[in-house]
Structures are given as C-alpha cells and as structure tokens.
Amino acid sequence: MSGKGILIAVYLLAVPALINAQGEKAATVEGRFQPRKVVNVGAQVSGPVAKVLVEEGASVSEGDLLARIDPNQYRARLEEAQARAEKARSQAEDSARQLERQQKIYDRGLSATRDLEVAERNAASDGAEVEAAEAAVQSAKVDLRYTRVRAPLDGVVIKRNVEPGETVIANLEPPRLFRVASSLDQLDLVLRLPEDRLDQVTEGDQLTVEVPGLDGHRAEGEVVRVARVPEDGADEPLYPVRVRVANPKGELRPGMAGRVILD
C-alpha cells in the first residue's frame, strides 16, 4: 500500500470523519462502479431494421452480429455499380484498341495529329470512367457490409435501443443502437475528489473497497487513473479517480456504490 495515501473501505456513513496518525481528518468518499470501457454502437447506413439478435445483458465477442439492416436496396446498388463498372471496362478496352490502331496509322503518316489526339483523349477519359466505376463498386460493398451491425469488442450489451421494423437514419451523428461494455470481470469504482485530496492518491496504489449493497462485501482494487483535469459542470473542481476492482464472480454490477476512506 502506498505511503503517499491510503484508501481504506468503510461501511458506516454515520462516522463523518476519523483522525489519522498525523492528526488530520479522514473523509469518507463514495463512488459508483462503471465498466472499464463503454462503446456506443451506431448505424452507418439507413434503412429498416430486419433483425435484432441480442438482448440486454447478452455476452458478445468482437465481430458478433448484433442487428441487421435490410440489405436489399444496398445489394441492388452493388449489382448496379458492378454492371456500370463492367460497361466502363468494356468501353475502355475498345478505346485502347482504337488508340493503338490510330497510333499505327499515324506512325505510317496516314492520319493527322488531331486524329491521334482525339483517340488519346477518348482512351484517357474512358480509363477515368473505369476508375470512378470501380470506386463506386467498392463504396457499395462497404455500404452492404455496414448493414450488418457488429460488436466492436468483447463484452456485454448493457443497452439496446432498437427493435425489428424500426427505420434508422444514419446522418452526421449515427443513431445509437446499442451500448456495449467491456467484460464485467473487472469494474472501475469512480471516485470524484476535490483538489486538496489529490496528493493523497497515486496511480498504482493498492486499495480495499467495500460495497454496502452486498452486505459489506470487500474487494481489492488498484488506482489505474487519476484525472489531470476536472469534470465539467461541477460547482467546485472535482477530479475523477478510477479504482479497478476484480469481479470474477460477477457480484459487482455497474451502478453499484462503493465506499472508501481517504486519509
């Protein structure tokens, strides 16, 4: 345990302050457990939701299918783009042959420079059309792939905001269909400390916390982050401190309270 600051869990809030060996008051600090990481999963394309495959609380692995947006219109767009690309390639091949033939005629002195230049411009233009058409095919493939909404990480679905049949509209701010939290085998107790307490906490400190909602359950944890800037919106500057706690049995849940003493 760090000599710079010791956090000891307590259960009774009836004791407003304790006195440490140096005669200083020790304050009870309470926080809430949060997942280590939470990701909002949105939709990159618009359309009706054909399927939703997970419920809240479901465990997922990175890449698992969460929902499916109706792919029919995007499949049709891909087929149309592929047809345009095939037509553009055929036209470009014909232009290349015309240019090759015109070059031979010009080299024998049987055509004007202008005819060769026209053939060159046509070949270049048709080549550019091929590039644009192939880019459209790739874009259509991406859109079709985005109709499959997948889990971005291994974890747990903690919020589901979509039902089959709903129409989602993807714009500058994609709609939040799911919230996926990192695995709950570890949770962070988030404390918010005033500036006069920050020098008593150091990243790497080993702590003991107590969870009142679990009949005083105690768990060991480690300070993994001490914020360098305060939270926005508070009347006084408060700095979040994250204490990572092992949760192998799943007893701790996001939102539960944990208490510590800072002296």
Query: What tens digit of pLDDT does each residue of 206-256 get?
Result: 888 999 989 888 888 899 999 999 888 767 899 999 999 999 988 999 999
* 112: DSSP letter: -
For residue 126, the model assigns a pLDDT of: 94
pLDDT at 146 exceeding the cut of 60: yes
Q: Tell me, yes or no, if the pTM score tops 0.75.
A: no
Q: 80-97, pLDDT tens digit by residue?
A: 999 999 999 999 999 999
Q: Please say whether the beta carbons of 31 and 209 come within 8 A.
A: no
8-12, 157-161, 218-222 — most confident range:
157-161
Distance CA 31, CA 7 (A): 13
What span, in angstroms and rounded, lies between the C-alpha atoms of 190 and 258? 9
The CATH number of 7-37+183-262, from 3.40.50.1220, 3.30.70.1290, 2.40.30.170, 1.10.357.10, is 2.40.30.170
pLDDT value of residue 26: 62
Identify the pLDDT of residue 197. 84
What is the rounded CA–CA span in Å between residue 90 and residue 84? 10
CA quadruple 152, 156, 161, 166: dihedral sign: positive
pLDDT of residue 184 exceeding 70: yes
- What is the domain partition of the chain in residue ranges? 7-37+183-262, 38-69+149-182, 72-146
CATH, domain 38-69+149-182, list 3.40.50.300, 1.10.150.120, 3.60.15.30, 2.40.50.100: 2.40.50.100
For the residues 57-84, what does the mean pLDDT come to? Answer: 96
Please state, rounded to an integer, the average pLDDT across all residues of the chain.
Answer: 87
Q: Does domain 72-146 have CATH number 1.10.10?
A: no
Tokens describing residue 32: 């809430």
